[in-house]
Structure 1
Amino acid sequence: MAAVMTERLIYEILSAVEEIPEGRVATYGQIARLIGRDKNARLVGKVLSRAEYYGKYPCHRVVNHAGRLAPHFPEQRHLLEDEGVKFRDETHVDMKKYQWDGT
């Protein structure tokens, strides 16, 4: 069954993203699991790509499962570095050190 993008679902995703503390990152899949939609990591990404229409959320704190930055979000690295997040290389966050545990 395909996920339907409702306003309620959008705000569930954005509310979960809002919980990620400064200096930490979460994955798209982690956010999907937090809202009870384990298989909807791509939907999370789609919502975050349009988050500016819903207000100000720390979407820069969400990366893929390997810690890779979003390819079409050039400010993401700078925003994370401003919060003290370190990188393994040019495009990957050190997930062992900076991944949020969700609590």
Structure 2
Amino acid sequence: MEAFTSKAIQVIQNIPSGKVMTYGQIASHAGSPRGARQVARLLHSMSAKYDLPWHRVINAAGEISIQDENQRKIQADLLRAEGVEIKAARVDLNHYRFNPEKDAD
């Protein structure tokens, strides 16, 4: 497994319940600031294998970027179940964004 992939998996696994991160933010923390699309592919292909909390990853606008309507609803429902508010199809990144350095215990 490539170092970026391993680090990205670790970053995603550490997103706490009730928080979100963006694809680009994860890529940056994993060492590839321009690797947002790689993060999306990784989530698509490895979420089940590594039990990743895929629903906690959203785009830089604070939106769920999954195109499939049913999957988009599942993601929204999972986020709401964790206390994340979605208003006008957006998550308030100022409130719900997880920052590993700043939010570390």
* Match in the other structure for 1:50: 45
TM-score scaled to structure 1, two decimals?
0.84
* Alignment coverage as a number of residue pairs: 96
* 2:59 alignment partner in structure 1: 64
- The 5 Å alignment of 1:14-33 reads 14-33=9-28
Determine which of 89, 92, 100 is the counterpart of 2:90.
Answer: 92
- Aligned twin of 1:3: none
Shift of 1:96: 1.5
Aligned residues: CA RMSD:
1.4
The answer to whether the 8 Å contact 1:70/1:76 transfers is no
> What is the Cα deviation at residue 93 of structure 1?
1.0
TM-score, structure 2 normalization:
0.82
Unmatched 5+ residue regions in structure 2? none
Contact 1:14/1:57, CA 8 A, preserved across alignment: yes
What secondary structure sits across from 1:50 in the alignment?
helix
Whose helix fraction is larger, Structure 1's or Structure 2's? 2
Task: Tell me by how many angstroms 1:19 deviates.
Answer: 1.0
What CA distance in whole angstroms lies between the structure 2 residues aligned with 1:32 and 1:52?
16
| 1:56 partner amino acid | D
Structure 1 segments of 4 or more deviating over 4 A?
Answer: none
Residue 34 in structure 1 maps to residue 33 in structure 2? no
